Amino acid sequence: MKRYCARIGLLIGSMMMALAGNLIALGAAIVGSNRAWPVAVANDQALNAALVGRAGSEDETVSSRAGKAARKGKRWGCLLCRLLDKIDPGHCARNIERDEGEPAD
């Protein structure tokens, strides 16, 4: 039970830190600073870490993981990369991180 409470406490604390970081990044973006970019990448990596379980890397972005999945013909990867291509053509292919997560093939 102690371990469970400690994990919940750590998660709540990290959520509060993430919220504070995102608010600071939002303020930076409003005033024209590029400081928001690393925070956006960190959020992307955090989402990947939450989604992947043991198969992925907390240092890999969702775009990289989707690009690798699309190359393997996985439906979810193809769909996400097609959606991202409408916003930024070639996004997944450009952002594959060969040194993170599963091999890129």
Residue 103 forms part of a structural domain: no
Q: What is the pLDDT of residues 74-95, one digit of tens each?
A: 999 999 999 999 999 999 999 9
Residue 87 forms part of a structural domain: yes
Residue 6 forms part of a structural domain: yes
Residue 105 forms part of a structural domain: no
Contacts of 68 (CB under 8 A, 6+ apart): 77, 96, 101, 102, 103, 104, 105
Look at residue 97 in the predicted model and tell me its pLDDT.
87
Residue 13 forms part of a structural domain: yes
Mean pLDDT of the chain: 89
Q: Tell me the C-alpha distance between 59 and 81, whole Å.
A: 19
Residue 69 forms part of a structural domain: yes
